[in-house]
Every structure is written in structure tokens, then in C-alpha cells.
Amino acid sequence: MSDTTSQKLIVPAFSGIYSATPVFEALLRFVVGFWLVPHGAQKLFGLFGGGGISGTAGFFSQIGLEPAVLLATLAGLGEFFGGLFLAIGFLTRPSALVAAFVLLVATLSVHIGNGFFMANGGFEFASLWFFAALYFVFKGGNQYSVDAKIGRAV
């Protein structure tokens, strides 16, 4: 990131917005992570109308993802715990990597064949979340993360 203090702002009255960037970045990290948790709960526990491990494994098998039970379990764990850890900024980079990987697989194995638009089951939404998670692979947490509180930049 560049230092905005040495830049001449187009609208100087908005300079306070830049100082709030870490807060909004932490909010984005929370949303990207926590929004994955219910998807993991669907796969692992059958909550929120999900099929649990067996239902997810059945779907995975239909689309050619094998070994389906193992992959359904890993996807559920990745979404549930990877999402939770990303949301709070704990092991931020590895958690974001897990989340990004699950979202990449979803994009390429489930959504890509349906075109772009989300309304048709396309890759628009899953790929957007993939790139949002990928941002935190490179960025990590910030001062508003568990990693920062325990003195670890993971």
C-alpha cells in the first residue's frame, strides 16, 4: 500500500476516511470469513437446510469429486473452521488460504459450467468470494486480529 500522507488528496475533507481503513479491512475480513461458517455447518452438521456429510458427499460424487466423503468433510471443515478463524484473524493467512482453496474448487467444479451470472448458478459469486479470501492470504490480519493480540504475524 502507498502512504496517503504524502499524496495530495482530491477531496481533502475525506482524509479521515483513510485513517479508518484498518477498521473496514477488519470488517471485510470478518464478513469474508464468517459468511463461510454457515456453509460449513450445512456440510458438516446438516444445518440451514444442508445435507450434512452424507448429502454433501452424494452431491460431490455426482459432480465427480472423489473420494466424496473425505472431500465433503474437508470442505465443511475448511468453510466452518477456516471461515471462523479468518473472521477473528487467527492464523489469518493459513485460514484465508484454506477458505480461498475451497472457494476456488467450488468455482471451478460447481459454478464455472453455469456461465457468469449468480442467478443462473454461475461463477460470479463464488469467484468474488475467492478473490476476497485470497486478499487476506497476501495481506494477513491487521491490528484488529487475534494474530496481532498474541503477537504473531502469520
Residue 48 lies inside a defined structural domain of this protein: yes
For residue 6, tell me if it sits in a domain. Answer: no
Q: What are phi and psi of 2, to 5 degrees?
A: -90, 155
Separation CA 74–CA 66 (nearest Å): 12
What nine digits make up the cell of 16? 479521515
- pTM higher than 0.85, yes or no? yes
Residue 15 lies in a domain: no
Does residue 23 form part of some domain? no
Q: Is residue 124 part of a domain?
A: yes
Question: If we measure between CA atoms, which residue out of 65, 70, 39, 69 comes closest to residue 54?
Answer: 69
The parent domain of residue 76 ranges over 28-142
Identify which of 27, 70, 98 has the alpha carbon closest to the alpha carbon of residue 106: 98
Distance separating alpha carbons of residues 99 and 1, to the nearest angstrom: 24
102-116 pLDDT per residue, tens: 999 999 999 999 999
Q: What is the pLDDT of residues 73-124, one digit of tens each?
A: 999 999 999 999 999 999 999 999 999 999 999 999 999 999 999 999 999 9
Grid coordinates belonging to 36? 463461510
Q: Is residue 76 part of a domain?
A: yes
Residue 20 within a domain: no
- The verdict on residue 5 lying in a domain is no
Query: For the chain, how many structural domains are there in total?
Result: 1
